[in-house]
Structure 1
Amino acid sequence: MTSRNQLDLFGADEPELFDEDAPTVYYHGDPDRVRARLHRLIAEARAAETLPWDEDSVRLYRKIVPQMVLWLPEDEAKQLCFDFEEEMRRLLAA
């Protein structure tokens, strides 16, 4: 028995969790927000003489930057990836 404030998780009138007919929803990144975030990240790296992030953050940024640029035009994406990796090489060599 359920109270009025509690959902009946096994009720027959509930929607199917894995409904094969449900429409697929894709997230579309906002290019302006992505661009702004990448420019801030690269600017932070350029302003630093040594790595400004801990090891976990470095791994994260090196993994997500190539994914983030997928929301941008191809030429801009390549340039931002190049700029980021150049700064990473400089900082790792320091």
Structure 2
Amino acid sequence: MTDTPDLFGHTPAQGSLFGEGDGKMTASAREPQMPTPELARARLHRFLETARAAETMPWDARRARVVQIIFPQMARWLPEDEADQLCMEFMREVERLKAA
């Protein structure tokens, strides 16, 4: 697949998914990058701030379940005491929002 327009002038939305045999590995074919504590911390704080700022559950039921599952998993990338503190604060906010 090339990025040249077809007969109707349309160009493909994306390049080749398989690298067209050029020997180069595409970004999606590489090993996934491991999260860093800084990235995990930033995402956790965004979730926590979203919950703190809300008067009612800010996510639909499915997304709320996902966030409640991934929050403690992402916290594992942080030092244990920091992770425990963030998880406790997040669960307190989730309970507050469920009661609202």
TM-score (norm 1): 0.70
In structure 2, the gaps of 5 or more residues are 1-19, 22-30
Partner of 2:56, secondary structure, is coil
Counterpart code for 2:57: L
Identity of aligned residues (%): 51
Q: C-alpha displacement at 1:29, in angstroms? A: 2.0
- Write out per-residue CA displacement over residues 36-59 of structure 1, whole angstroms, 9 at most, x where no aligned residue: 000011001000000010001111
Picking from 43, 51, 68, the partner of 1:62 is 68
The one-letter amino acid paired with 1:45 is: A
**Partner in structure 2 of residue 13 of structure 1:** none
Report the counterpart of residue 58 of structure 2 in structure 1: 52
Higher RCO, 1 vs 2 (CA within 8 Å, ≥6 residues apart): 1
> 2:84 is matched with which residue?
78
Larger radius of gyration: 1
Structure 1 residues 26 and 52: alpha-carbon distance in aligned structure 2, compared to 1, 3 A threshold: closer
Name the SS for the 1:28 alignment partner.
coil
Aligned length: 72
TM-score (structure 2 length as normaliser): 0.66
Aligned-residue offset at 1:71: 0.5
Equivalents in 1 of 2:85, 2:41: separation in Å? Answer: 12
* Structure 1 residue ranges, 4+ long, deviating more than 4 angstroms after superposition: none
Alignment correspondent of 1:30: 36
Structure 1 unaligned runs (5+)? 7-24
